[in-house]
Amino acid sequence: MSPRFFALPLALLAGLLLAGCHTVRKLVPAALVPTSLVPPNLRPPAENPVDALKRARQQLRQATPCCSSFADFSYRSLLPWQPQKFTLGNTSMVANIGGTKSYFLAFRLPTEVELPYQVALKAQLNGRWLHASYLFAPTVVVLDGGFQPLRSDDITLCEHMGWSDDTTGAFGSFKVDNKQARYLLVYSSARQQSGKTYWEQSPTSFSNSTAATLKMNSTGSFSIPHGPDGSLWIGMMNSTYKKAIDSAICDKAHTGAGLLGDLPLPWNGTRGGKAGKSP
């Protein structure tokens, strides 16, 4: 049989895959579509997401801590002037802070910057599929020149799906306003590691690519669990991160009476937009 006989169906299949996954599902039986030709973000998870998170936590539990006192850390790296990506995982050093093991980052804070200033953070989902993902939720400790803590905060993360990787993720920020602030330690507290972040997306698929982000279903919501490792951006606030943080979603919107409940309409018995008794 001529090789062209086999080449034609393969060419048609490749064209259908490029045209879109929905087209392939309609015209080609799933059993005939090779898994290797399906984009990674559209494939089923390779493993149970619960198992992946358990394994990451087990690796952290088995790690030997290097530091347990705030003075033990190296603060040679200056806080980036704009958010920069750091990867925390089984090749990173581990701290034991208050009885909790965590991967960490340590920085010197700039002293020539006018106070107050904002520090931006962004956690990236760890996983190809949204419902099979978790993220690293940071805790920040600001220290003085003697390595004494001035403040410690579990950073609340808020979801924002933008048009690029820079504006997509779980965002957070905090303010540095103490003139004695000299150092910054970033880790994940026990409370953060056991927590979750609200996510207003459907658990259909997830990828770091913008194209996959645009294909996601924007209906439905759930919570992303926190884990011990992942990618974290941190640095001085810039305009891109500020816009993402200002429009990020931190929790499910509260339902109410809506606009009609605030308007001064006869059946509302209102004046000036506030409910009350009719005169």
Task: Summarize pLDDT for 141-167 with one digit per residue, the tens.
Answer: 999 999 999 999 999 999 998 888 889
Q: Is residue 255 included in any domain, yes or no? A: no
Q: Is residue 256 included in any domain, yes or no? A: no
- The whole-number average pLDDT for the span 19-42 is 49
Do 63 and 142 share a structural domain?
yes
Q: Is residue 260 included in any domain, yes or no? A: no
Do 55 and 37 share a structural domain?
no
| Average pLDDT over the chain, rounded to an integer | 79
Task: Look at residue 248 in the predicted model and tell me its pLDDT.
Answer: 94
- DSSP lists the bridge partners of residue 121 as 172, 234
Do 128 and 86 share a structural domain?
yes
Q: Is residue 275 included in any domain, yes or no? A: no
Do 239 and 104 share a structural domain?
yes
pLDDT, tens digit, 9 for 90 and up, residues 164-223: 888 999 999 999 999 999 999 999 999 999 999 999 864 443 444 444 443 444 445 689
Q: Which token pair is 64?
A: 């030997």
Do 20 and 117 share a structural domain?
no
Q: Is residue 90 included in any domain, yes or no? A: yes
- How far apart are alpha carbons 6 and 118 in whole angstroms? 60
Band the pLDDT of 256: cuts 50, 70, 90.
low
Judge whether 194 and 60 are in contact, CB under 8 Å. Answer: no
- pLDDT(236) > 50: yes
- DSSP lists the bridge partners of residue 97 as 100
Band the pLDDT of 131: cuts 50, 70, 90.
confident
Do 157 and 27 share a structural domain?
no
Segments forming the whole domain that contains residue 17: 12-42
User: How many domains does the chain divide into?
Assistant: 2
Task: Look at residue 267 in the predicted model and tell me its pLDDT.
Answer: 45
Do 66 and 35 share a structural domain?
no
Q: Is residue 176 included in any domain, yes or no? A: yes
Q: Is residue 192 included in any domain, yes or no? A: yes
Do 152 and 91 share a structural domain?
yes
- The whole-number average pLDDT for the span 72-81 is 97
Do 100 and 31 share a structural domain?
no
Residues 6+ apart with CB under 8 A from 219: 202
Residues 6+ apart with CB under 8 A from 202: 130, 216, 217, 218, 219, 220
Q: Which residue has the higher pLDDT, 126 or 207?
A: 126
pTM reported for the whole predicted model: 0.70
Do 172 and 62 share a structural domain?
yes
Do 32 and 73 share a structural domain?
no
Cis peptide before 80 (omega within 30 of 0): no
Q: Is residue 121 included in any domain, yes or no? A: yes
- The whole-number average pLDDT for the span 265-277 is 46
Do 107 and 22 share a structural domain?
no
